[in-house]
Amino acid sequence: MARDRTPAELVGATPEQPPFEITFDGRPITTLPGRSVAAALWSAGVLAWRTTRRGGRPRGAFCGIGHCYDCLATINGRPNRRACLVPARPGDTITTQEGHGHAELAV
């Protein structure tokens, strides 16, 4: 199903600042000011950006308010950031977080 109008158009919103780019696993994503990292990824069609510690099952945003920790992502090299709470900033680099996010600490 194609959208005729974006959510911003439906409510008549006009961002004060222009769209900007972030990257997700090397892929450029254009987003709007004021969006969280999770919202920016969702708007680009990315629904999962973490895998579980056991089983490697995909996870993304679940509650959207920072309670569940399903949306953990590695943002600008820092693992275990809740993507639903972190505002997207121009030039942010988000990478899929695998497991607990500290693979470099493995023995």
Output the pTM of the full model.
0.77
> Token pair for residue 104?
């470099």
Question: pLDDT digits over 41-87, tens only?
Answer: 999 999 988 888 788 887 888 887 888 888 899 999 999 999 999 99
Higher-confidence position of 51 and 3? 51
> What is the DSSP annotation of 20-44?
EEEEETTEEEEE-TT-BHHHHHHHT
For the chain, the residue count is 107
pLDDT band at 107 (very low <50, low <70, confident <90, very high): very low
Do residues 73 and 94 touch, judged by C-beta distance below 8 A? Answer: yes
Rounded to whole angstroms, the Cα distance separating 33 from 18 reads 7
Residue 2 has pLDDT above 60, yes or no: no
> What is the DSSP annotation of 57-69?
-EE--SSSSSSS-
Domain regions of the chain by residue span: 18-99
Q: Across the chain, which distance is largest between two alpha carbons, in Å?
A: 53
Which class is domain 18-99? alpha beta
Q: How many CB atoms lie within 10 A of CB 10?
A: 10
